Structure 1
Amino acid sequence: MTGDTARALLRDAGTTLAAAVATALGTLALVPVFTDGDWRPPVLAAVVAVAASGLLLRVAGAALADRLGPGGTAPGWWTTLVILAVPFGQLVVLTSVLTALFAPEQAWGGWLPTSESLGDLGAVMADGTVEMAEQSTPALPLTGLVTLTTLLAGLVAVAVDLVAVGARQPALAGLGLLVLFCVPVSTVTGTIGVLPVAAPAAGLALLLFADQHRRLGRRSPEGRRPLLGAGTLTAVRTGAVAVVLGLVVGAVVPTLTEGTFSGGFGGGGGGSSTGTALDPAAALQGQLTLDEPVDLLRLNASVPDPGYLRVVALEVYDAAEGWTIGNLDGETGVADQPELAPLPGQRGGRPVDALLTALGHEDRFLPVLYAPQAVDVAEPDRWRFDPGTGTVFGRDVSTAGQTWSVAAVEPRPAPEELVAAAPLEPELPLVQRYTALPDLDPGVDELVASLTAEAQTPYERVQAIYGHFTDPANGYEYSLTTEPGTTDDDLADFLRLRQGYCEQYAGAMAALVRAAGVPARVVLGYTPGTAQPDGSRVVTSDDAHAWVEVYFDDLGWIPYDPTPIDTDRAVELPWAPRPQDLEVDPRTDLTTAPLPVPSAPAPRDQPTPQDVPAPQAAPQEAASWVPTALRTAGVALAVLAVAAVPAGLRALQRRRRLATGSPAALWDELAATALDLGRTADPARTPRQVAEALAEAAEPGGGAHRSGRRPHTRSRVAAAVARLARAEEAASYARPGSAPVVGPELRADLATARRGLLAAAPRGARLRALLWPPSLLAGLAAALPRPRWGRGTARRS
C-alpha cells in the first residue's frame, strides 16, 4: 500500500468517525419522542456497526487495489465497484445487527440472517407499524417501535457515511440529520427541549468541521498536519454558528400539534373503534342522540352481582379535547402472563369468573371484569394486555362473533383500609402520570381548595369531591341533553351549569381528584346488564357507562361512580355509597358513535349556585393574534432556512477555494460562477479561449453599479480574467515544484471577474445563482471518484 493510499485511508477514517459521531448526535433529536432511553443502545449499536463496516470495507478495497494495479493504483472500474459495495455491505451488516437485537432465535449464531429470521424480523417491524398507530408521543419504547427507530437511524448512518466519505462531501451529508430532526418536529406536541435541537446542530457542525479540515488542512514541510491548519478556524466558527442557529431556530419554530405518529388511540373521534363500540374518548360537552338499544353482550357470571365490565381507561386530560387514551403497552399477550393484573400487595378480593359472548358487539377493545387474572379468547396472540390500564385490545381483530372467558379478582377494600391509605410521593412516576393536568380555570381550582380544605388524607379528599357531585343539595342533574356552555372550558361550564350525563360527571370528578393531588382516571365500559330468566345477563347499548378510578397506596385502583344513574343499573360500591332516592332515565348515557361537538352558541345568562365560585370566562385577549403571528414567523424562518441551504453550501465551497488559493482553485471558482449564471464552457477550449468568452459576457451594460461601487469596465474584467487564465495554464503545464505562487493580486482579480459577471447578468439569473447554484451538483458529480483519463477543467470541483 503506497503512502498516498495510506494517507487517503487515514483521511477517510477521520471522516468516517466524524460521520458516525454526527449521526449519533442527530439521533438525540428522538429523545422527546420516547418516554425513556431504552431505544438508545440499539440505535447506537446500529450507527457504530455501519461506521465500522464501512471503514473495514474501504481498507479491504485499498488492500486489494495493490494486487490489481502497479503501485497501488487500481483501475477506475475497481474504484467504482468499491463505492457501490460499501453501502451494500453496510446494509448487510445493519440487517445482521437488527437480527441479533430483535430476531435472533432462528438466525445462524444468533446474528447471521436466515429466511426464517428475516420473516421474524419482518413480523417485529409489522408490529412496529401497528404500534405507531397506537402510540402518541412521548411513546413507550416498544420492541416494534424501537426496531423501526433502529432501522431509521441505521439507514441515515449509511446515507451520511456514503455522502461524507464515499462522495467526499461531509458538509452535504449534514442534510441527512434533517431526517432525524423531522421526527420530533412532526410528532411532538409543544416544545421539544434544548438537547434535541442542539445535538443535531452539533452533529452538523462536526460535519462542517470535517469538510473544512479534510479539504483545507495542510501539511507542514515535515509532513505533519497542524491542529489549527488552514480552514480549521473557519470550520470552528461555522460550527459554532450552526449550534447557535440551531438553538435559536429551535426556540422559535413551532412544532406540530398532533402529537402522535399516526393518530393513535388518543385521537378521539371514532377512528379507534368500529361497529357497536364505545368511542374511546370522554368529552365534557355534547348533545347526545340515542338510538334504540342494541343487544351487545351476553354475560354468564359466577356471582349474581358482577361489577363493571371495563373496556378502556382514559388517562390524558386536555381542556379542549377532554379525556383520551394514553399509550397502551402492546408487548404482553393475554396468554403470556400467569396473572395479568394481580392486586397490589397480594391482597385478596372477590373471585369472579365470567363467560362473555358478543351479540352485537364489535370493537378492538375487549370488555373484561375488574382485575382480570386470565383471559381465554380465540387467537390470544392477537389480543394484547396493557398492565398499566388493565385494557385488553386486539390487533387486526375485533370482538365480533367472539366468546371469551375472564377470571378476575374484584377489589373489595374496607373503608378503614381506604382511610389508612397514606399519601403517595409526588415524585413517583404513577403519581406524575395520573395527576397531570393542564392549567385549569381559576374557579375550578378554588372549588377544589374549598372542598378539600379540611381533608387530611387522600381518601377524605376524594370523598369530599365525590360528595360534591352526589349530594342532592348541590343541584346536579342527570340529563342527556345539556345546555351549551358560555366559555371555552367545558369542565368549568359543567361545574357551573350542573347538568350532564356520565361522561361529564366522571370526567369532572377525575379532573378535580387530580387537582387535589390524588391519581385518577376515567374508565369507559358497561354496567353488568339486565338479569335473564336463565341466570345470564344481557348487556345492551343502554348499559354503556363511564366512571372514575382512584389510586390508593397499597390498594390499587378503586372505582367511584358519581353519576346519578338508576339504582337498577348502578353497581354497589360500599366505600362510595350513593343517595337511594336518585332515580333517573334508565337509558344509556354513552353513545356508541363519536360524540358530536356542538357549535359555539351565543352567550346566555345562567344562574350560578352560591357555593361554587363562578369560573372566569375566557377573556377575549387583544393579543390573540400573537400565537398565529409567531407560528407564521416560525414557519417562514424554517422555509427560509431550508431555502438558504444551497446558498450556504455554495458560500462554503467558494470560501474553501479561496482558502486553498491555488490557481486551479481560483479558476474553478470563476468557472462555477459562470455556470451558476447560466454560462457553460466547452471543456475542449483552452483557458485563454474561455477567458475571452467570459470577458465578452461581462459587458458593462447592466453594470451600473449596485452598492455604491464604480462600474467595472470591460477592459478591467477582461484583464482580470486573462490573468486568471494564464495562472491556470502555468499551474497546469509547469514542471513539478515550479507552479506560480498565488498572491493577493490574483484573488483580487477573481473578485473583479466575479463582480463583472454578476453585474452583467440579468436579475433573474443572479437570483437563481444565489438560491439554486448549478455548480453545486456539478461539483458533487465531479467529486465522485472515477477513472482518470486526463486532465482538464472538469477534473476539479
Structure 2
Amino acid sequence: MSGPGTNGTPEASGVTATGLRAGLADTATATRRRARRTVSRPTRGWRVPTSGLAASADRRSLVDLAVVSLLLVIGLLGFAPVLVGGWFLVAAVVGLVVGIAAGWLSRLLGLSAILTALLALVLYFLLGTPAAIPGQAILGVLPSLGSLRGLALGAVLGWADVLTLSAPAAAPDYLLALPYVSGWLTGLVTAVLALRWLPRGSRSLGRVAVLLIAPVVLYVVTVVFGTHAPFLAALRGTAFAVVALVWLGWRNPFGRNASMQDRSTLARRKLIGTAVVVAGAVAAGTIGGVATEAPLASSRFVLRDVVQPPVDPVDYPSPLAGFRNYTADLDETILFTVDGLVPGDQMRLATMDAYTGRLWDVAGADVATNGSGSFRLVGGEFPEPDLFTRADTRSLDVTVQGYSGVWLPGVGAPVHLAIEGADTERSESVRFNAATSTTVLMSRLSEGDAYTLSSATQAVPSDEALQSVQPAQLSMPPIVDSPDVVTAKMAEYVADARTPIEQVRAIETALHTNGFLSHGLASDSVPSRAGHGADRIEELFTRNQMIGDEEQFAAAMALMVRQLGFPARVVMGFAPENVVEGQPTDVFGGDVTAWVEVPFAGVGWIPFYPTPDETEIPQDQNPKPQTEPQPQVRQPPRVEKKQEDLLTSVDTEDGEDEEKDEQFVLPAWVVYAAIGISAPFLLLGLWMLVVALIKAARRRRRRRVPEGHRRAVGAWDELIDGHRELGFALPVNQTRIATASSFAAQRSRRASDAGTATDPAVARSLHDLATRADAAVFAGGETENDEVEGLWQAARREVRAAGRGVGWWRRLRSRLRVSRSRRARERRPVTDGSSRRGATRRVAVRSS
C-alpha cells in the first residue's frame, strides 16, 4: 500500500524526472565548459590535441604562421641590392625554417623561454653552415670552427659591414649570415607568438595583428640597410600590403557566432571585399610606382648615406708629399716585381683631389663629394666605377720588395684581388674607393707580400672624339689658397682654345713645352726645390724658367684646370720603362711619376701628362740667386772667417768628444753587475718606503679620532704595535698593566742577554702608561687633549727606547713589518658616554 509521497505515486515520478533533467543539463554544461577550456588552453608536453575544436585552433595557427612566413620572405628579398647573387635568399629561407622549427619544438615540448632560446641557438649554429657559409663546411654540410666564427661575426658585425661595403657585396664570406640570422630571428619570434602566445587568449583582431610586428620591422630594416636602387620596391610593397590586409580581413572574428545563412552572406562579402582590396592595391601600386619612381630613387633614405666609412684617408700622409723620397733615396731600389704589364702601362698608387694650400691630399671621409674620401670595405670582388669605359683587362702578379705602405699599387680599375697567404683578418682589411679606383690595405704591405690583381683599363678616345664632349659635372672638394699667378697663367694658356678638351690640352702643352725637368739631385744641371705648396707653385711660374718635376707640374696643372671650372685630380704612381710583355718587370723608385686626370661625361677620367722631358737648361737663361749680389759687398770676408773658425772648432770638439767617450765607456759586465747588486737594495728601500707610509697613515688615523678616549687607546695600540714589530711577544687576554709588565720583563731579559744593565725606570714608565690609558678609558667624562698628547709622546718614546735595546737586524725587520693591534680590529665606534665606557670596558677585558 502506498501513500502520498511514496515511490509509486505520480508526484514521486515527477520529482525524479525533474531531477534527471537537471542532472543532464548540468552534465551538458560541464561538458561545454570543458570543451571551451580545451580550446583555450594550449597543449602541454608531448600530447597532441585530438578534439575537433583544438585541431581547428591548430589549423588556424598553422595558417597564421604560413601567411606571416610569406610576409617575412617578401621582406627578406630586400637584401638583394646589397648582396651579390641569389644565394642570400637560400640562406634567408633556411634561417626562417630553422627559426620556425625551434618555435614549433618549443611548443611541442613545452619549453621555457630560456630553454627555447638555447634550443634556437643550437639549431642556428648547427644548421647555418651549409646555408650561410657553405665554403667553410666540412663535407659540405658539417660546421667547422671557421663557419661557426663566421655565423657569430655575421650576426654581430654584419650589420655594420653591409653599410660600409660597396653594394652589392660578395665578401667577407660571413655576410650571408646576415639574411640567415634575420630569417632565423623573425621566424623564431613569429612561431612562438603564433603557436604559444596567440592560442592562450582570445583571438581578437588586435592580438592577431601582433604577428605583423616582425614582418614590418624586417621590411623596414631591409629598406634602410639597402641602396637608393631598391629591389622591386613597388611590387614588394604592394604584395606585402595586400597579403597583410586580406589575412587580417579573413581573421577578423566578427560574425563567428552568426547563423549559417548569415555566415554565407559574410563570406560572400569578404570575397568581394578581398577582390576590391587586391584590385585597388594593384592599381595604386602600379600608378604610384610609375608616377613616383624617379623622385623616390633620389630621395630614398638609406643608412649608408649617414654612416661614416671605417677608413679616413686623412689619417695617412699624402703620398705626393713623399714624391722626392722615391727619386732621391729609392731611385735604384726595387719596390716590387710585377708580372703581366704591357708597354705603356702605368701603375696608380693613390688619387688626390683636395688642395689645402700646402699639398694635394686625399679628401677626408667627412667631405660629401664624388672624390676620393669614401673608402669602403670590399672582399675579393670590386665594384666597377660609375664613370668608366672599359678598354682592356690586366691580370697582375705583384711581389712586394722594397715598398711598404697602405696604398696598394695597381693598373686601371681593380676587378678582383687575391692576397697570397692572407688570413681572414687581413683579407677584411681591404678598402676600396670606386670613384678613384684606389685600393687601401689597412694592414699595410711589406716586403715579402704577394697578391694577384685583375683590372680593367680606361679607354682614352682621341681629341677629335672629345671635341663635342663636355667635362662631367662632379662635386669636388674646394681649392684652398691657390696662388693668383695660377689663374693668370691659366687664362694666358687657354686664350685661343674653344672646346673643353682644347683648353685642357692647351694647359698641358704649355707646361710640357715651356718647362724643364729637374728632381733637385746633384746630377741635375739646376736645383729644384721639393714640395707643391702655394709658395712652391708660385715660384714655378715667377722664375725665369719653369723648373720642377712631376710633383710640381701635375699639381700646377690640376690647379689650373680647377680654376678653369672643370673637375681635376692628381694621380701618383709608377711608369716603368723596362717593360717586356710576357716577362716580370722590376719597378724601381726612380719610376715614380704623377699625372692629371679630368673627367668627360659618358667617357671617364682621361689622363694628361704636363711634365716636360727637357732636362738641359741654357746657362744664360738660368736665374741668378737673389742673394748673390749681397755677398759681393759684405759677406765674403765674414763668411770665410766663420767657415774657418767653424771647421776648426767643430773638428776639435768632435775629437774631444770621441776621447771623452773612449775614457768613460764601461764594460758591459760592469754595468750588469752594478744593476744586479743595486737591484735588491732598491727593492728593499722601496719596500721600506711603502711600510713607512703605511705606518704614518696608521698613526694619523689613530690621532685624528674625534673622541679623546679613543685617541688615548690609539696611543696604547701604537705602543703595542711598535713592540710587536720589534719582535716582543704580546701576552694573550691580559690587562694593560699586565701587558706593560710583560714588555718590561722582556726588555730586561734582552738587556741581560746583551750584557747591559737593566734600567728599573722602564717598568715604571710602562706601568704609568698603562695606568693612564686605563684612566682615559674607564674614568667618566672626556679626556683632555693635553693628557692624550702626553700619552702619545710617551708611547713613541718607549717604542724608540725598545728599539735601541735590540740588535740592528731586529730594527731593520721592524721597518719591514706592519703590525696591527687586535684590540683596534675588534673595537667598534660608540657614540654616547655610558655605552662607550661599557663597550670599551668589555672590549678591554676581552682583548687584554
TM-score by length of 2: 0.40
Higher relative contact order (CA 8 A, sep 6+): 1
Q: Which has the higher helix share?
A: 2
